């Protein structure tokens, strides 16, 4: 499934990607005027208005013996789009892990496990309030769909130029960061020098020991 999505966003099959991209954009744009149920019903009716008459036409040719009884949409019917048991288990596991990760992160941010991360989350929520006033969620979905089908192709075509731009932006951000760090170090007051340690008092030299008294010579008899 992931490989099919990558093939779509990189336009490896032009016809399939064009049909999917056009259908998504038109369907999402139609929801602005009509409800999702109405749009889905009209899309299905439009598709069946074509497939039904083609099926009747081929059936008529078969009855007149001008056709060998070939179904016009047999290739689509033979295409197995069901998931195997292994793929279903993997998909469910990924979905459960994603939901558990999202719940853990939201709980961590709401109950202030990290003050810096929670402050970032508050700023993001505050910006989203302005985004919600200016645009709707459906506009963001349409923008995300257009970006998903255009940005990978643009990156593939202009890879070297985009990498040079990214390196330039990173160097500029690093230069600004170093400038602010140097400014903070210059403004920060230097700590007072520690008082020099007093020298230890020099001990007075010990008085010289008294010389031993000379022994008196024994008197001769």
pLDDT for the residue numbered 123: 92
**Kind and range of the H or E run holding 1:** none
Whole-number pLDDT of residue 218: 45
- Residue 94 domain boundaries: 82-134
Torsion of CA 99, 103, 108, 110, to 10 degrees: 140
Query: Does residue 95 lie in a domain region?
Result: yes
Measure Cα distances from 84 to 75, 89, 118 in Å.
Answer: 20, 9, 41
Q: Which H/E stretch holds residue 74?
A: helix 74-78
Whether 102 is in a domain gets the answer: yes
Both tokens assigned to 218: 């024994």
Return per-residue pLDDT of the chain as tens, 221 residues.
667 777 788 888 888 888 888 888 888 888 888 888 888 898 899 889 999 998 898 888 888 877 777 788 888 888 777 778 888 888 899 999 999 999 999 999 999 898 888 998 999 999 988 888 888 888 888 888 888 888 888 888 888 888 899 899 999 988 988 888 888 788 766 554 555 555 555 555 555 554 455 454 444 44
- What total number of domains does the chain contain? 1
Q: 28: how many CB neighbours lie within 10 A of its CB?
A: 19
- What is the CB neighbour count within 10 angstroms for residue 104? 10
Question: Is 120 part of a structural domain of the chain?
Answer: yes
In a domain, 110, yes or no: yes
State the pTM of this model: 0.56
Round to whole Å and give the CA distance between 136 and 115: 30
- CA–chain centroid gap for 177, Å, is 23
- Domain for residue 106, yes or no? yes
Query: pLDDT at position 219, please?
Result: 45
pLDDT of residue 196: 52
- Is residue 147 situated within a structural domain? no
Q: What does the pLDDT read at residue 111?
A: 92
CB of 108 closer than 8 Å to CB of 114: yes
d(CA 80, CA 177): 55
Cα 182 to Cα 175: distance, rounded to the nearest angstrom: 11
Q: How many CB atoms lie within 10 A of CB 35?
A: 10
Residue 127 forms part of a structural domain: yes
Residues 180 and 188: their CA atoms lie apart, in Å, by: 12
Residue 94: inside a domain? yes
């Amino acid at each position: 499934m992931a490989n099919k999505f990558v093939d779509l966003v990189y336009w490896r099959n032009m016809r399939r990607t064009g049909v999917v991209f056009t259908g998504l954009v038109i369907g999402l744009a139609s929801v602005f005027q009509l409800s999702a149920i109405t749009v889905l019903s009209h899309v299905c009716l439009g598709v069946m208005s074509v497939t039904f008459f083609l099926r009747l036409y081929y059936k008529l040719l078969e009855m007149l013996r001008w056709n060998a009884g070939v179904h016009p949409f047999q290739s689509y019917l033979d295409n197995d789009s069901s998931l195997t048991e292994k793929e279903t288990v993997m998909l469910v596991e990924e979905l459960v892990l994603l939901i558990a990760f999202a719940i853990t992160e939201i709980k961590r941010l709401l109950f202030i496990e990290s003050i810096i991360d929670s402050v970032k989350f508050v700023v993001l929520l505050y910006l989203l309030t302005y985004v919600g006033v200016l645009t709707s969620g459906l506009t963001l979905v349409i923008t995300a769909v257009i970006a998903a089908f255009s940005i990978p192709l643009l990156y593939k075509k202009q890879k070297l130029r985009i990498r040079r731009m990214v390196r330039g932006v990173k160097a500029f951000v690093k230069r600004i960061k170093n400038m602010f760090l140097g400014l903070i170090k210059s403004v920060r007051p230097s700590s007072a020098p520690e008082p020099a340690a007093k020298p230890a008092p020099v001990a007075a030299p010990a008085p010289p020991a008294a010389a031993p008294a000379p022994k008196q010579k024994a008197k001769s008899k």
